[in-house]
Amino acid sequence: MMMSTKAKFHELIEALFEMVQTYEDAPSWALALKLTEEVGEFHETVLQDNGYLEHKPPKLDEDLFYEAADIINVLIGFLAVRFQQFTPTELAEMLYSAIATKGDKYADVLRAEEIRLQRD
């Protein structure tokens, strides 16, 4: 039986948490700083993609996904180091739950905006 994409993604996130807890030696504050660097690279890619960094060639669409993946990986690293008292499985579940909760809130905001636009 094939594993669903959702299950594969969850397995990948859990494996990343385990890898970080095993091998990462940077403190959480350093990973938080690294996160700002990765977000800056994402911003640069967006600027390039839209022609606002004329001295640099445009990026490929796939570059945005790679930059987003860097952000996700560093976030996972930060969480794994910051919350070492939890197992990789627990961390993956906590992150999944947080994403689901925040996703529901975001959906509510989008629906509220849609309703507001329909009124106007």
Chunk the chain into consecutive blocks of 10 residues (it has 120) and report each block's average pLDDT, rounded to whole numbers: 79 96 96 97 90 78 90 97 97 95 91 75
Q: What is the pLDDT of residue 25?
A: 95
Q: Domain containing 109: what range?
A: 87-120
Please check whether residue 56 is in contact with residue 85, taking contact to mean a CB–CB distance below 8 angstroms.
no
Is there a domain that residue 112 lies in? yes
77 and 25 within one domain: yes
- Identify whether 3 is part of a domain: no
Domains of the chain: total: 2
The pLDDT assigned to 67 comes to 95
3-state helix, strand, coil in the chain (%, to 5): 80, 0, 20
* Sole residue written with tokens 């060639």: 57
Residue 9 counted as domain residue? no
Task: State how far the Cα of 53 lies from the Cα of 80, in Å rounded to an integer.
Answer: 35
Q: Which of 24, 16, 18, 26 has the alpha carbon at shortest distance from 69?
A: 16
- Residue-level pLDDT at 65: 93
Is the same domain home to 39 and 80?
yes
Provide the pLDDT for residue 62: 77
Residue 66 and residue 103 in one domain: no
